[in-house]
């Protein structure tokens, strides 16, 4: 069985913490953790099963010529890979109170870039139970990845991760 890669960023903080929860629930022996801070397209190519995890940064940050955050540096690497033969899922952290008008938009931005490069994302999540105004991450009435709000709903994180992993289990074969 090939290992599942969790590409996450930034290193440290809430995204890292949620990535660790996912790793622990899948099984540490089945997962490779890859911080996007220094990752390249060559690192992505090594894996057939990939989970991407990111924090609240928007398209404006990624489009910035001078972006210095981990995902701002890594995002160009995404488009260098063909995902048509890979199993791909995305989780993202957002703040549904302060950013309810753009809740987890970064899941949508990343997901759309992945799909442009052949990814068929797995692990859609119902919008039921989430409060927000708008989100680029909603396609056909569902989030295209797992939204987590560690700022205002940390008590729901583990429950949401466990439910999402049950959806991923058949495709990721863990």
Q: To which residue do tokens 């057939």 refer?
A: 48
pLDDT at position 59 over 70: no
Mean pLDDT, all residues of the chain: 92
pLDDT at position 14 over 80: yes
Asked if 61 contacts 72 with a C-beta cutoff of 8 angstroms, the reply is yes
CA 76 and chain centroid, separation: 16
Burial class (CB within 10 angstroms; exposed 0-12, middle 13-18, buried 19+) of 71:
buried
Q: Is the pTM of this model over 0.75?
A: yes
Provide the percentage of residues in the chain whose pLDDT is more than 90.
82
Tokens standing for residue 99: 């950013």
Structural domains of the chain ordered from first start: 4-172 (3.40.50.360)
DSSP labels for 66-110? T--SHHHHHHHHHTTS--TTSEEEEEEE--TTTTGGGTTHHHHHH
């Amino acid at each position: 069985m090939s290992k599942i890669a969790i590409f996450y960023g930034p290193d440290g903080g809430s995204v890292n913490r949620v990535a660790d929860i996912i790793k622990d629930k899948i099984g540490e022996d089945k997962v490779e953790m890859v911080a996007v801070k220094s990752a390249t397209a060559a690192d992505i190519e090594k894996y057939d099963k990939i989970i991407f995890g990111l924090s609240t940064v928007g398209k404006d940050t990624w489009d910035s010529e001078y972006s210095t955050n981990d995902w701002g540096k890594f995002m160009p690497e995404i488009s260098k890979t063909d995902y048509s033969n890979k199993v791909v899922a995305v989780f993202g952290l957002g703040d549904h109170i302060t950013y309810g008008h753009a809740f987890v938009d970064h899941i949508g931005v990343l997901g759309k870039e992945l799909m442009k490069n052949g990814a068929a994302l797995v692990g859609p999540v119902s919008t039921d139970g989430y409060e927000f105004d708008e989100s680029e991450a909603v396609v056909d009435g569902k989030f295209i990845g797992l939204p987590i709000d560690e700022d205002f709903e940390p008590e729901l994180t583990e429950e949401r991760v466990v439910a999402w992993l049950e959806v991923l289990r058949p495709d990721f074969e863990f």
